[in-house]
Amino acid sequence: MTKIVADVMTPNPITVTPETPLSEAIKILAEKRISGLPVVNENGKLVGVISETDLMWQETGVDTPPYIMILDSVIYLQNPARHEQEIHKALGQTVGEVMTAKPISIKSSQSLREAAHLMHEKKVRRLPVIDDSETKIIGILTQGDIIRTMAQG
């Protein structure tokens, strides 16, 4: 029998909103020993994910993008808009300023194989699980959940 996401996911995950202070989100991650949180709007709809990776900008800061000078003109060797986004993440005070918007998610009715493939392809460690109507987050599926299921046979 093929397992589906609903069989393995953790139901009712801890969530935060875009307005949640960053310090509160960091405290939740540390206390619960988790690496990421789904971000939902006032209607419970998934709008982003905040992860340890997003928070690393707070500590590491941002490097100036590489550039060259030719005749008093600055030519950036990377997209300056990306640099601006990195600065925004490094200076952010709320979850909404630092989170990854447009998160990759999966429906609870999809197979575990599809979930594992999606995680591998998109290089993510967790997938918010949404209901079939795609309006509410109902769970979270991590790589660890999939590994534990594999170990059970």
CATH code of the domain containing 30: 3.10.580.10
* Domain interval for residue 144: 5-152
pLDDT of residue 91: 58
Of 79, 101, 80, 99, the C-alpha closest to 89 is 99
Residue 46: helix, strand or coil by DSSP? strand
Q: For residues 132 and 76, which has the higher predicted lDDT (pLDDT)?
A: 132
Residue written as token pair 């300056």: 80
Q: What is the mean pLDDT of residues 67-81?
A: 65
94 vs 57 pLDDT, higher one: 94
Q: Domains in the chain: how many in total?
A: 1
Range list of β-strands (E), the chain: 10-11, 36-40, 46-51, 67-70, 73-76, 100-101, 106-107, 126-130, 137-142
Q: Give me the pLDDT at residue 67, please.
A: 59
Q: What angle do the packed helices 143-152 and 112-122 form, to 10 degrees?
A: 140
| Averaged pLDDT for residues 72-94 | 61
Give the mean pLDDT of the chain: 84
151: which residues sit within 8 A by CB, 6+ positions away? none
pLDDT tens digits, 10-64: 999 999 999 999 889 989 999 998 989 999 999 889 999 998 887 775 555 545 5
Q: What predicted TM-score, i.e. pTM, was given to this entire model?
A: 0.75
Evaluate whether 2 touches 111 at the Cβ level (below 8 Å): yes
Q: Report which of 141, 150, 131, 111 is spatially closest to residue 38, judged by C-alpha positions.
A: 141
Q: Is the pLDDT of residue 83 over 80?
A: no
81: pLDDT strictly greater than 90: no
Q: In 3D, which of 42, 34, 2 has the Cα closest to residue 18?
A: 42
d(CA 135, CA 59) in angstroms, rounded, equals 34
- Whose structure tokens read 């405290």? 27
